[in-house]
């Protein structure tokens, strides 16, 4: 807001009038490890954001980077998204989660990779493919198995760019590690609007 007095001196006053704020929130594995409870970390962060933003409603995007040690604490990302929306999305003010992205660990413990087990073999193969960004992976045979897959989708999967291939490889590695370590894998690392 600009006030101009009779001497033509201008004063600028900031007046916040937004009712919604968009917040992109990053959480790393060390925060999760320190707490041991992903829901506690998310709740604490939401409480702080609501306090810092006054009476405004929040629209949240979460980027959660897990480590190999904290991978099991996240659980099913879709269930976590539903919990966030149920607990915080309907209050006054509300904190609606629009996006929840759980990023797979970039590195797994060396002793897991060195094991003379299927897990060790799997992680060593994953590391080899990661060095090339997954460019040496041929995804076309996987699309040919599904007759009902649209031609455009099959072409997109077969010609996936390097960044997409890297993400796919990270997610495939995460799911494989969960299977091979005996836990129930969470197939969806990215949770968007599923309501």
Task: Find the distance separating the first CA and the last CA of the chain, reported in whole Å.
Answer: 39
How many CA atoms does the CB half-sphere of 76 hold within 13 Å? 5
Best CA proximity match to 102, nearest among 73, 128, 134, 135: 73
Cα–Cα dist 167/59, whole Å: 25
Least confident of 57-61, 100-104, 167-171: 167-171
Tokens of 42: 């998310």
- Domain layout of the chain by residue ranges: 18-191
pLDDT, one tens digit per residue, over 127-155 is 988 888 777 777 666 666 666 666 666 66
Kindly state the average pLDDT of the residues 154-159: 63
| Those residues with Cβ within 8 angstroms of residue 135's Cβ, 6 or more apart along the chain or in another chain | 162, 165
């Amino acid at each position: 807001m600009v006030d101009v007095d009779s001497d033509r001196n201008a004063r600028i006053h900031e007046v916040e009038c937004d009712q919604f704020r968009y917040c992109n929130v990053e959480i790393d594995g060390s925060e999760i490890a320190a707490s041991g409870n992903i829901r506690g970390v998310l709740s604490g962060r939401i409480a702080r954001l609501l306090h810092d933003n006054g009476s405004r409603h929040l629209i949240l995007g979460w980027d959660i980077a897990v480590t190999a040690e904290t991978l099991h604490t996240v659980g099913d990302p879709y269930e976590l998204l539903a919990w966030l929306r149920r607990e915080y999305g309907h209050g006054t003010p509300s904190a609606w989660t629009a996006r929840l992205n759980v990023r797979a660990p970039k590195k797994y413990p060396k002793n897991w990779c060195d094991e003379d087990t299927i897990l060790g073999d799997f992680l060593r193969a994953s590391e080899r493919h990661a060095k090339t960004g997954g460019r040496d992976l041929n995804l076309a045979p996987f699309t040919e198995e599904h007759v009902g897959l649209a031609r455009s989708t099959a072409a997109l999967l077969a010609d996936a760019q390097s960044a997409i291939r890297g993400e796919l490889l990270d997610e495939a590695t995460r799911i494989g590690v969960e299977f091979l370590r005996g836990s129930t894998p969470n197939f969806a690392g990215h949770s968007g609007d599923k309501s």
